[in-house]
Amino acid sequence: MKPIQTKKDYQNYVEQKSPNSPIIKNCFNAFWVGGLICSIGQIIFNYCKYRGMDIQISNTIVSIILIGLSAFLTGLNLFNRIGKFAGAGSLVPITGFANSVVSPAMEYKSEGYVMGVGGKMFTVAGPVLVFGISASIVVGILYLIFNTQSITLV
């Protein structure tokens, strides 16, 4: 091995020395767990429709049940194990979002309900909310400008 002179050399060297995450295994697990969560959502949705509810109410019920389930599993210290196994598979569906709100709430409960739970609850989910809402406003404005039909609706 040649002596390392520059920062760039060192970064390349470290890159090559550091073990990579097992991407194929992670992708496979994320795929089937993510698919399973979505299938559960679909089953709930179909059942709601079967019981005669309309699409909007069925959608809401699916979200409520998945969020509730994810929050409950987080409280039981089980969701982090699922997340460790499935990665994005459990993080990308709405279950991951629920987990990212409930976990700091639990973590900071020791600092009190107002400044702890209230103040820190969105430390993980905060960026998603800020940029999600911001993006939706930008898209809304663009839609308003470029879709003449919408102007007549307004």
Q: What does the binding site for another protein look like in residue numbers (CB under 8 A)?
A: 1-4, 7-8, 10-11, 13-14, 17-21, 26, 74-75, 77, 79-84, 86-87, 90-91, 96, 99-100, 102-104, 106-108, 110-111, 124
Q: Judged by CB, which is closer to another protein: 48, or 108? A: 108
Cα distances (Å, whole numbers) of residue 5 to 2, 9, 10, 11: 9, 7, 8, 11
Q: d(Cα 45, Cα 57) in Å, to the nearest integer?
A: 9
Calpha distance 125→82 (Å, rounded): 19
Question: Is 63 or 123 the residue whose CB approaches another protein more closely?
Answer: 123
CB of 124 to another protein, least distance (A): 6
Identity (one letter) of the amino acid at 8?
K
Closest distance to another protein from the beta carbon of 5 (Å): 10
CB of 131 to another protein, least distance (A): 18
What is the Rg, in whole angstroms, of the alpha carbon atoms belonging to the chain? 22
Our CB check for another protein shows the closer of 58 and 100 to be: 100
Nearer to another protein, 58 or 97 (CB): 97
CA distance 48 to 14: 53
The amino acid occupying position 57 is I
Contact between 59 and 33 under an 8 Å Cβ cutoff? The reply is: no
* CB 86, min distance to another protein, A: 8
